[in-house]
Structure 1
Amino acid sequence: MAQFFVVHPDNPQSRLLRQAGQLLADGGLVAVPTDSSYAVLARLDDKAAADALRRLRGLDDRHHLTLLCRDLAEIGHFARVDNRQYRLLKMATPGPWTFILEATREVPRRVSHPSRKTIGIRVPDHKVALGLIESAGSPLMSTTLIPEGEDEPLNDAEEIRQRYGNQLAAIIDSGPCPLMPTTVIDLTGEAPEVVRRGQGNLAALGLS
């Protein structure tokens, strides 16, 4: 059964985040609130955890998993970013945006798209999510917690415990978070392409 951590949204208890980080290191999946609904996280270097992440969501290997990074500098380690892309990323991070970019060799092949060699990547604007990435010591694989066969993500920790308590190592409760996934923008073409509309004001990025 999943451990349940009640963490302050503005001043996260580092002790609890370290405990959750250790569960990730041990191969577990952790549900965490973000600036756009709950996400389920796993270690980037853990193949079994990546497989469990996909099973929990009912995803195949063509679905982009997303890397949650601590900052813009870390993005550049895992994705190829040119000057045009960098300007947009600088405006948008941290925030409720997921960007599709060409993956570098630092990204395991099982995480990137099998044919396009691309990766979803973002920096969340949420202290608890960022604190957990910091405790883990590296970017984390993630996917929005949308139940298989449904369209809406989850944002209530107690409901997540009832539905997924046997599949998760931990659930972090920091109070309510938005009930909308990130906006996904593909930056691999000549112009940015909005793949999914969600949280965030596209006009603020000069997009529509």
Structure 2
Amino acid sequence: FTLVCRDLSDIAVYAKVNNGQYRQIKAHTPGPYTFILKATSEVPRRLMNPKRRQIGIRIPDNKITLALVEELGHPLMSTTLSLPNEELPMTDPYDIRASLEHSLDLVIDGGFCGFEASSVIDLSDEEPVVLRRGCGDVTAFE
């Protein structure tokens, strides 16, 4: 799971961030990045990797998502919508509604969001590690 935050102030509540990590995150957000960081005690256990005590954090460049997080006043838990026996995640709001409308309370039509995932950068150790190359340019972390 990933916590979607509205800005950098949310990150410090849920993740342990040093000055270097903060500068790297600030330079790349909002944007298509998920940062893996050491979790604080504020993160519910079911949201973090139990062996490593880490959490994924995102500040996306998506006006709808940021508006939701702002209105709620706290981060949202996020994951990719992948159905069993399907190769690709669901990204089209019309397909999502047709397939799952009786299982969901709400589908927000923000348009087709594409298949390319965020880049995942592990910042939990001294040196950044690129775990997945996605939409975001990762050259600054290599």
* Alignment TM class, shorter chain as reference: over 0.9
How many angstroms does 1:92 deviate by? 0.9
How many angstroms does 1:112 deviate by? 1.1
Q: Name the counterpart of 1:91.
A: 27
Q: Name the counterpart of 2:69.
A: 133
Q: Secondary structure at the match of 2:107?
A: strand
Match status 1:123 vs 2:59: yes
Q: Distance in 1 between matches of 2:13 and 2:137?
A: 27
Q: Identical aligned pairs, as a percentage? A: 49
How many angstroms does 1:134 deviate by? 1.5
Q: Name the counterpart of 1:80.
A: 16
Q: 1:36-67 CA deviation, whole Å, 9 max, x = no partner? A: xxxxxxxxxxxxxxxxxxxxxxxxxxxxx100
Q: Name the counterpart of 1:167.
A: 103
How many angstroms does 1:107 deviate by? 0.7
How many angstroms does 1:141 deviate by? 0.6
Q: Secondary structure at the match of 1:75?
A: helix
Q: Is the Cα contact below 8 Å between 1:181 and 1:198 reproduced in 2? A: yes
How do 1:122-201 residues align onto structure 2 when only pairs under 5 Å count?
122-201=58-137
Q: TM-score, normalised by structure 2?
A: 0.92
Q: Secondary structure at the match of 2:47?
A: coil
Q: Relative CO higher for 1 or 2, CA cutoff 8 Å, sep ≥ 6?
A: 1
Match status 1:202 vs 2:138: yes
Aligned length: 142
How many angstroms does 1:156 deviate by? 0.7
* Structure 1 gap ranges (5+): 1-64
Q: Distance in 1 between matches of 2:26 and 2:73?
A: 22
How many angstroms does 1:164 deviate by? 2.0
* Structure 2 gap ranges (5+): none
How many angstroms does 1:171 deviate by? 0.6
Q: Name the counterpart of 1:67.
A: 3
Q: TM-score, normalised by structure 1?
A: 0.64
How many angstroms does 1:178 deviate by? 2.8
Amino acid at match of 1:130: L
Q: Secondary structure at the match of 2:45?
A: coil
Amino acid at match of 1:177: C
How many angstroms does 1:122 deviate by? 0.8
